[in-house]
Amino acid sequence: MFISILLDAGWYVNAMTPDAQDLTRRLKSKNQAYLERLCVLDWNVLRPSFAQRVLGRLQRMIGIQSRNQHNTNDLDPRFLDPVEFGRRINASIKQCKWPPSFVFNMYMDMYPSDGARWLQFESSNKLPWAGIRFVPTPEYSEIYYAQTALKGMCFLDESVCEQAQRAMPRKVFGYLPDITENALPLTESALVREIKDKARGRKIVFMGGTIGGNKNLACWYQLIHQADAREFYFVQIGEMFEDTLTSEDVLELAKIKRQCPENLYIKLEYLPDEAMFNEVIQTSDIIFAVYRNFKISSNMPGKAAAFSKPILVAEGYLMGERVSQYGIGLTVPEHNVDAMLTAMTTLVQTAGSMGNQFEYYRRDFSLRALGQHLIGFLKKCMSNA
């Protein structure tokens, strides 16, 4: 999406990705895959030099490790390696059709926030750079913020940008709207036909995505038990990670496993085709997103607005603020099932009066709005380089 925005704006883009085939497929659908201004680079370029391979073989033969090897092994495997980030930048420069003047990293949430490896990255990278954090830390204590080459960072929360700017006035911090794809299948899927058949005209309440502890399963299942099965049909779609559930979630899930209510459809699978996921939302009447202790942005309000479906979210967090500000749904306390049931009934009655509110949300969280914010952020970073 970001690459497409830059290409549309006339920029030259060197794109390094771990899945070049998927990127090319996506850009083909937008007639951008073969533009002269695009160069798709090989992510797997980190082959050691001849001298490094010889040294590594000698070390393995005599059973010793270099200091750098030890550091690599000590890196938490859940994170990407900052040193490899630097190596990829340097390797990509040799592949580029044109020399890059700026680097934008889309994976900043996947890097460790401290450690000597960021210092090694700093010593190897000479290009100015920036990135995006989808899940920012409140302290802004990441060691890379002290690096001169880092010109800025963008977030999906305006208040986070303002706080970071006050804390680090010499850096550039930009807000990006959390937008979503709204493509639909060309023909109705078997999944949606099955849901419609089983709903039998009842109002469909949808909860989906990656299902873990923050999805508030305990209240979701309690809501289903309390709701009138003659009026509401509930749909739950997404891969479940039971090891992240709370004890209360596990208890309620066990009840569902013993006897699933007739008015609940469960598909415990990740839908790889986002168009099909969108189709389920389009088919639904209400979106349930009363997440537990969920303080960051989500694209679910964007999905709801894209298909003019009222959404129910938890009060007191960013999602609640946006839903209340735009009037595209209702907010409730995240543990109050009675309030959820009352709000759900209200949304059924008032959904038809939210047309303008959905349009306002779609305007402010559109691809055009994202492009304006992204390009403005990058220009500020480059002028600060």
Q: What is the mean pLDDT of each run of 10 residues along the chain (385 residues)?
A: 94 91 88 92 61 45 45 69 92 85 94 88 94 90 94 96 96 96 94 98 97 97 98 97 96 97 96 93 98 95 97 97 97 98 96 92 96 97 87
Side-by-side strand order, sheet with 311-314: 264-267, 232-237, 203-208, 286-289, 311-314, 329-332
Which residues, 6+ apart, have CB-to-CB distance to 297 below 8 Å? 134, 156, 157, 178, 318, 319
Q: Kindly give the pairing relationship between strand 264-267 and strand 129-132.
A: unpaired
Instruction: Please report how the helices 247-258 and 217-226 are oriented relative to each other, as an axis angle in degrees rounded to 10.
Output: 40
Q: What radius of gyration, in Å, describes the C-alpha atoms of the chain? A: 24
How far is 125 from 82, CA to CA, in rounded Å? 10
Q: What is the token pair recorded at 28? A: 């083909």
Q: Please give the model's pTM, rounded to 2 decimal places.
A: 0.86
Only one residue has tokens 């309390």, namely: 226
Beta carbons of 175 and 156 less than 8 angstroms apart: yes
How far is 95 from 97, CA to CA, in rounded Å? 7
Beta carbons of 168 and 145 less than 8 angstroms apart: yes
Output DSSP code: residue 243: G
Q: What is the token pair recorded at 11? A: 């920029």
Output DSSP code: residue 232: E
How far is 172 from 268, CA to CA, in rounded Å? 41
Burial of 319 (0-12, 13-18, 19+ CB in 10 A): buried
pLDDT in tens, 200-238: 999 999 999 999 999 999 999 999 999 999 999 999 999
Domains in the chain and their CATH numbers?
A: 2-180+368-383 (3.40.50), 190-364 (3.40.50.2000)
How far is 294 from 331, CA to CA, in rounded Å? 13
Q: What is the token pair recorded at 115? A: 């450690």
Residue 313, phi then psi, degrees to nearest 5:
-135, 170
Only one residue has tokens 């849901």, namely: 195
Beta carbons of 237 and 269 less than 8 angstroms apart: yes
Measured in whole angstroms, the distance separating CA 133 from the mean position of its chain's CA atoms is 10
Q: What is the token pair recorded at 190? A: 């078997």
Give the side-chain half-sphere CA count within 13 A for 163. 12
pLDDT of the residue at 316? 93
pLDDT in tens, 108-149: 999 988 788 999 999 999 899 999 999 988 888 899 999 999
pLDDT of the residue at 43? 76
Give whole-number Cα distances, 269 to 102, 200, 209, 239, 312, in Å.
39, 23, 9, 4, 23
pLDDT of the residue at 82? 94
